[in-house]
Chains A and B, each alone.
Chain A
Amino acid sequence: MFNDSKKLTVILVGLPGSGKTCIAKKLSRYLNWKGCFTKIFCPDLYLQKLKVLESKTSCMDGQEEKDWNTLSMAECLKDLICWLKNSLEAKVAILDSENLLRDQRALLKKKLETETGSSILFIESVCNINQILVDGENTFACERRVQQYQLRYESLDELLDPNYSFLKLFDVNKSIVTRNVEGHISALIVYFLINARFHSRTLYFSRHGESEYNLQGILGGDSDLSLRGVEYASKLHEYFTGVKIENLQVWTSPLKRARQTAQLFEEKAKIWKCLEEIKAGICEGMTYQQISELYPEEFRSREKDKYNYRYPRGESYYDVVVRLEPIMLELERANNVLIIGHQAVLRCILAYFLGKSTEELPFMEVPLHSVLKISAMADDYHMQTLARQK
């Protein structure tokens, strides 16, 4: 879908602590999941490496700091340009640094445009309260530095920067201004940022209980739960009533095994057709053994590229990712949701939160009869396996 799109460099602008890294990480996770290869380049990390090399730990003053900043920025840019230009699949590079001065930005823009041939999109995060995103790892936001920066901050302005393509986020979500935004990827970025939320929340995932087809090793189909599956459904319900989660929502797929697992939650269960298991086309209702015997070439091609392989008359993991889009945006805004789904579908959803690549996605472990909990902090997701039962 992104084959014809021009390469894009996203340059973040904003004071330390205004949420740039958060935005960068979230954006990168979303774009990568959609199939648009994105990478973040952060000069501060280069600075950190340099400091470690030269054994300097405290904040530096004046000239020395300036020199080191210039050096680390240069190194970072070199890597960015190299990656964007030379890698075939690279699509979006995100530069995560303050970029507060107009001249600075003009130079950057010129350099990047000429050397990589990509279009440039500026994303500025304007925060009235700098403490919104207190990032534990942000050791660079020392008071003094922030105050100094604030004095020289030159915000993006439509009159002074007439040909720039930019986005301004005010207090992260409250208001958004866009200017000269063109191109498929840029429009997608805007849509995502409008929907994205940065508060902490928790999501729960579980597969349906063991089904009759699972017992026989058969793919797909629409079978009922086995006895152990029914037991799991009641244990699941017990667990959640015990934990007493506020306003718990339960989302499930229309297939019987999922609905039967969600049955005890009754009215709370919302059915989403897009949560259905991956369609195995002509291989539905067969075991892996049978497939390898009847369609040996198909079997082999699947092993070679499991993510892109599409079952004849069925779907691929990539197709599942595409059809999960609406639910992902709902999940961005939701809190305390339990999703009862299927293996392939859950792999796709979890890969989004954990930032798994397309190579890792189809092999993620999503065992039966366990509940996975994803806790979202500002910019990262942590997964825990909760209950586990055979």
Chain B
Amino acid sequence: MSSGLDILSGSLRLRNGCGVRSGPYTYCKVSEVKACPSVMSPETKRLLPPNTETVQTKPFPIRGERVNYVNSPHVIAMVGLPARGKTYISKKLSRYLNWIGINTKVFNLGEYRRHATTAYKSHDFFRPDNQQAMALRTQCALEALQDVIGWLESGGEVAVFDATNSTMERRRMIHDYIVSKGYKLFFVESVCDDPQIIEQNIKEVKVSSPDYINMNKDEVLQDFLQRIQHYQEKYQPLDEDKEKDTSFMKIYNTGEKCLVHKHEGHIQARIVYYLMNIHITPRTIYLTRHGESEQNLEGRIGGDSNLSPRGKLYAAALAKYIQEQHIEGLRIWTSWLKRTIQTVAGLNVPQERWKSLNEIDAGVCEEMTYEEINEKYPEEFAARDVNKFAYRYPRGESYEDLVGRLEPVIMELERQGNVLVVSHQAVLRCLLAYFLDKSADELPYLRVPLHTIIKLTPVAYGCRVEHIKLPIEAVDTHRDKPKEPGQIAQVDQQIDCHCKNDGQSNSPNKS
């Protein structure tokens, strides 16, 4: 049975009659041909006979193969009066789409306006009869749309146009511009008539806007309410009859009611589902790894071992901490591996087990130490360092696969209130990357130390992060990106001081 490991031994086992020519191999360096397929250049990869290692697909679009799943680029245009949560939705949506692998960017018209003129003194700028300002604003809109097109043409898949777009005329202009270039357009309108929510929005994000640097809170509130007033005079909400050829979605009062009109395509359905599941009720998400396990102590990755004595201490300390917090309606999610289940055995809170929260499957490298992997599969070891996000363990998974299987977890997390997630290093890195908007390059190197609770509180447009290290020592399983791929010794010295105090040498363990 031939497997990808044949490539590592330097020879390429070619199957008979599968149509691969040996001629073109002369175009690429032999050393590259010997490298791991996951990180070869596309030209070289195309020449290889396909096998389980070179096939990198996940059901939803992946980087580099998006042409199969995203047939034409999309523009999502927001609609709504100021302080209706448009920017909040734009940023959140963009964060979600980027995380699942769809290249998305937000274009905020307010920023264009601020860039074009520093003339903002008061709400009068937005008066409908202010001709000069109007011309300027229209000019900004055109510039932003040009940038949107530029982004889509250079490989972007979804562009979110974050502006009020509150008149039919403006929307028609956008529609003609975008559709004429062959892209798809989807409007998302946020309608809100609850004055409390509006005031809350203003206080949370507008007060700190660059427009209001020199004003105090109450002045800001008044000025902004006047601003909204100007828009309201000309506001034309999306109309099912008059704009019946456009695809759109209307969200009323943060999800109380939704209307979806003429959606087309998989991405739009996905966006609708996502937007229907998010809420703005305050809550906290706690993330933690299992307590130190026996395999952690030996420096082995993967497996299904029990907690070490220190791990059990952590379980007790965690139970105490959680009880002291008096978290309302807390739910606990664990994986199906023993070490996470044991970590929360002492907590009398409803628990749910998710197979998707299981640690990354290291395939043939399961239960080996780094030294062993380096000895047995040196090229695999080096290849992983070159592109840790896309690298897939032979017969195992990659971080990219993890993101695919964690997507339902994220969707459910969005719907829930207070949750404590007890899982593993690689999985938590993926979850953190979603909440903190980290790129695929940063994701595999995020720090998730043992015996530490990461507390996430959604605030304004992002998340506040707190690390709460419980006073129980543990080994350090983090491995920074080495200067040379394949280097075993941990070069970085700036380890979190609380992890260093355990007196053990910093053996590079699971990463």
Contact = CB atoms under 8 A, between A and B. Distances in A.
Interface of A: 1, 3-4, 158, 174-181, 184, 187, 190-191, 194-195, 221-224, 254-256, 259, 263, 270-274, 313, 319, 322-323, 325-327, 329-330, 333
Contacts of B276: 178, 181, 187, 190-191
Which of A270, A272, A273, A329 counts the most B-chain CB atoms under 10 A from its CB?
A273
B326 interface: no
Ranked nearest first, the 7 interchain pairs of A and B with the lowest CB-CB distance are A326-B59, A254-B55, A178-B258, A191-B273, A179-B257, A176-B260, A175-B261
A254 B408 contact: no
A130 to B, nearest CB: 21
B105 to A, nearest CB: 24
Interface of B: 1, 3, 15, 18, 50-52, 55, 57-60, 68, 240, 256-263, 266, 269, 272-273, 276-277, 304, 331, 350, 352, 355-356, 401, 404-405, 408, 412, 415
B58 A273 contact: yes
A177 B259 contact: yes
Given A174-B261, A181-B258, A274-B58, 16 more contacts: A3-B352, A175-B260, A175-B262, A178-B258, A179-B257, A179-B258, A184-B415, A222-B3, A224-B15, A259-B50, A271-B55, A273-B55, A274-B59, A326-B60, A327-B59, A330-B59
Nearest to A263: B18
A272 B261 contact: no
B401 A273 contact: yes
Contacts of B3: 222
A255 B1 CA distance: 12
Nearest to A194: B269
A177 B257 contact: yes
Contacts of A254: 52, 55, 57
A194 B247 CA distance: 13
A228 B55 CA distance: 26
A4 B412 CA distance: 13
A233 to B, nearest CB: 12
Interface class of chain B by DSSP: mixed
A330 B57 CA distance: 15
Nearest to A325: B408
A182 to B, nearest CB: 9
A223 B58 contact: no
15 contacts: A175-B240, A175-B260, A176-B258, A176-B260, A177-B259, A180-B257, A191-B276, A194-B260, A194-B272, A222-B1, A270-B57, A273-B55, A274-B58, A329-B266, A330-B59
A189 to B, nearest CB: 11
Given A191-B273, A222-B3, A322-B355, A272 B57 contact: yes
Nearest to B18: A263
A271 B257 contact: no
Contact of B51 (A178, A256, A330): A256
B304 A313 contact: yes
A330 B350 CA distance: 34
B263 A194 contact: yes
Contacts of B415: 184, 187
Nearest to B255: A181
A152 B293 CA distance: 68
Nearest to A254: B55
A177 B258 contact: yes
Contacts of A187: 273, 276-277, 415
A46 B68 CA distance: 49
Contacts of A174: 261-262
B402 to A, nearest CB: 12
Contacts of A272: 57, 59
B55 A223 contact: no
Contacts of B240: 175
A273 B257 contact: no
B52 A175 contact: no
Contact of B257 (A3, A178, A184, A330): A178
A270 B68 contact: yes
